[in-house]
Chains A and B, each alone.
Chain A
């Protein structure tokens, strides 16, 4: 399927989901749906580096927070100097650029590391950035920052519906980008890096350049996901924005869905994100990470290649039915062959 057709189908699906949510008339759907869609973007962004290239990034929260704090900084500037109020898509673009630049920088500094060493370096980045934000008084420091969002926006109505719509469009953009990469020359290059970097170089793949592209795209998408977050949450503080939830979920969702295809993070985020939202209202919000841990253990045992991997394994039993271009990966990402 060509990309414009793919995009049109997903835009139509998004429109249908939005219309159905409006028809149901309960704004909580938008509150919960926003978080699920945010994880679709985070999971997809993580997968571009972690799943396609095999570089496990534990610093997702840092990129997400960078996007969020870019918005806070701009919000403060606007309120102090009475500038023109920036629309959320512009804030997302700025958040994406900031996180993309940091992603590029992180890649440049750390991509000579591999496996656990790279993962530790990304975790260190998150800690360093959190420390910087905690000590940056302009964006609220450790006491946090308040963002007052408008009640209504014309012609959509409640502002949360607007945020939901924007996050849905970003999710569609993210999966379209991921699919585009997967089916392109870049995607083959990423796959060769994931499998064997030495052999990739010997085949002419400029591995460092490709890894920098991956860290930049991945970081930018995470930053874009974080940019509208202050408007969603209303009160932003470092401990929640740099929280473990974002790092763990953005890894667990692709792993549970499957890391070699754009479908995996989408399935994983929809499944896990919805489960977490249901658990939040029926049991407790504290049970969220427990669900993630529990599901991860189950999937590592019964389906190490995720749900997509399970489906592929089933299809491989009937090779005559299998006409796919690329098979699933045999190992978990990040493992050095």
Chain B
């Protein structure tokens, strides 16, 4: 198994640098007799651009759900910013700075796009800062976020009026509105055309340049390879590789998992 290259937070921690933003140790999750995740250990330093890949059913979304609090892990620990997340509900994790976008977009269908963005602003940003923004400030922030993802002219539309790529952008904008330290984008590019993928990729890269750590879960390998500085591969609930993207892709075990014997 390949170990992480220079970007690995374990080495950073060992050398006395800042601790990892996200630290997962021996994480395990079962659904009845089915082992979905087994002894996953992963360290993600702040500012990382991590690609998480694996065949269908390998446990990627389960891992995200365990990190974000949608599912409870039976084994192991998750730490975020030095704080253990065990027992914290999903919304409390969001307040700490953990945001996610969903594999299938889950907009608030009865709310306008601006109001979709307003929810995390009202419930996460306001809670974290401890102060309420004025209605005008919230309005401006919603408009700015929608402009940032190219949906500025549709602020008063309903999600049902959006195309597939616009829906993905809304999903990302809503996650960004929570002003996260770590954003987990779960298949944010599924079903998009090449130019649309470029759009989303540049959006994610811009976000990362603003200091947001990003974990990208994706099946589109070209997108993963151009985005990631580090790649983690899951197969059947186990981590089989973790390192520089080019090295990981040359790993015989990864080749076997993707291409067969």
Binding site for B on A (CB under 8 A): 185, 188-189, 191-192, 194-196, 198-208, 260, 319, 322, 325-331, 337
Closest to A208 in B: B89
Assess the B115–A325 pair: CB atoms within 8 A.
yes
In the complex, the answer to whether A195 meets B115 with C-beta atoms within 8 Å is no
Q: How many residues of B contact A (CB 8 A)?
A: 35
Pair A191/B111 contact, Cβ less than 8 Å? yes
Contact of A327 among B112, B126, B178 (CB under 8 A): B112
Q: Which of A195, A203, A327 contacts B123 (CB 8 A)?
A: A203
CB-CB contacts below 8 Å: B37-55 with A = none
Q: How far, in angstroms, from A146 to B89 measured CA to CA in the complex?
A: 50
Assuming the A-B contacts A191-B108, A194-B110, A326-B110, are A206 and B119 also in contact, with contact meaning beta carbons closer than 8 angstroms in the complex? no
**Contact indicator A188/B122 (Cβ below 8 Å):** yes
Residue from A195, A202, A337 within 8 A of B100 (CB atoms): A202
Given the known interface contacts A189-B119, A204-B94, the answer about A326 and B112 at a Cβ–Cβ threshold of 8 Å is yes
How many contacting A-B pairs (Cβ < 8 A)? Answer: 105
Please, which residues of chain A bring their CB within 8 A of the CB of B70? 198, 201-202
Residues of B contacting A191 with CB < 8 Å?
A: 108, 110-111, 115
List of A residues within 8 angstroms of B95 by Cβ: 204
Given contacts A188-B119, A202-B175, 16 further A-B contacts (CB under 8 A): A185-B123, A189-B122, A198-B70, A199-B108, A202-B100, A203-B123, A203-B124, A204-B94, A204-B95, A204-B123, A205-B119, A206-B89, A206-B91, A326-B112, A327-B158, A337-B106
B119 lies within 8 A of A192 (CB):
yes
Determine if A327 and B94 form an interchain contact, defined as CB atoms under 8 angstroms apart. no
Question: Which residues of B pack against A, CB within 8 Å?
Answer: 68-70, 89-92, 94-95, 99-100, 102, 106-112, 115, 118-120, 122-124, 126-127, 156, 158, 160, 174-175, 177-178
Determine how close the nearest CB of chain B comes to the CB of A224; give it in whole angstroms.
28
Q: Which residues of chain B have C-beta atoms less than 8 A from A205's C-beta?
A: 91, 119, 123
A-B contact pairs, 15 of them (CB 8 A): A191-B115, A192-B119, A198-B106, A200-B108, A201-B90, A202-B99, A203-B177, A206-B89, A206-B92, A206-B123, A208-B89, A326-B110, A327-B158, A330-B160, A331-B109
CB distance from A48 to the nearest CB of B (A): 16
